[in-house]
């Protein structure tokens, strides 16, 4: 890896809550509200995209850890944004502060850890 990834990189990802994002649909609950795993996936997406342009050809990032609160429910049809900010870059290890909001304010916040990987080597580990 020849590029140095700098702290402070940020990205915000957005989704409009649909049936496929609901706790009842994904199996994490039985209510028609945004599923916690879907909120966390949006946070991961924001972190991935925050550093994507800084990677070398053939590299990507994979999630290694995520911890988040889920403070308020969000119903179908509402818009959720997740923001990730790179707070530490230590070689291949990238640490992010993540948060998610809807029209009512913050609905979740936490920490996310990603690792820079070589795509080809990584996929060989799964037999693809």
Which residue in the list 12, 25, 36, 81 is annotated as catalytic?
36
Mean pLDDT of 49-73: 97
Residue 78 annotated in active site? no
Examine the pLDDT at 1 and tell me if it is beyond 50: no
Q: What's the pLDDT at 128?
A: 67
Q: How confident is the model at residue 4 (pLDDT cuts 50, 70, 90)?
A: confident
- Structure-block tokens of residue 42: 């949006």
70 a catalytic residue: yes
Q: What mean pLDDT is predicted for residues 66-95?
A: 98
Task: Report whether pLDDT(109) > 60.
Answer: yes
Rounded mean pLDDT of 121-125? 94
Cβ burial 47-76 (10 Å sphere, 16+ → b, else e): bbbbbeebbeeebbbebeebebebeeebee
Mean pLDDT of 105-120: 98
What is the mean predicted confidence (pLDDT) over 46-50?
98
What pLDDT does 127 receive?
81
Asked if 28 and 91 touch (Cβ cutoff 8 Å), the reply is no
Q: Is 107:72 a contact under the CB 8 Å cutoff?
A: yes
Model confidence, pTM: 0.95
Mean pLDDT of the chain: 96
Return the pLDDT at 93: 97
Full 3-state SS string of 27-43: CCCCCCEECHHHHHHHH
Residue 44 a catalytic site member: yes
Q: Where does the chain show beta strands of DSSP type E? A: 10-16, 59-68, 79-90, 93-102, 105-118
Which of the following is catalytic: 11, 54, 61, 70?
70
> Which candidate in 44, 54, 85, 109 is catalytic?
44
């Amino acid at each position: 890896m020849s590029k140095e990834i700098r702290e402070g990189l940020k990205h915000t990802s957005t989704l409009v809550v649909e049936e496929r994002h609901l706790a009842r649909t994904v199996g994490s609950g039985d209510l028609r509200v945004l599923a916690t795993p879907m909120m966390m996936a949006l946070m991961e997406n924001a972190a991935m995209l925050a550093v994507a342009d800084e990677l070398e050809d053939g590299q990507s990032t994979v999630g290694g850890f995520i911890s988040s609160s889920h403070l308020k429910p969000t119903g179908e049809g509402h818009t959720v944004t997740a923001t990730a900010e790179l707070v530490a870059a230590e070689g291949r290890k990238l640490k992010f502060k993540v948060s998610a909001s809807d029209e009512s304010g913050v609905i979740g916040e936490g920490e996310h850890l990603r690792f820079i990987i070589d795509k080809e080597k990584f996929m060989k580990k799964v037999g693809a």
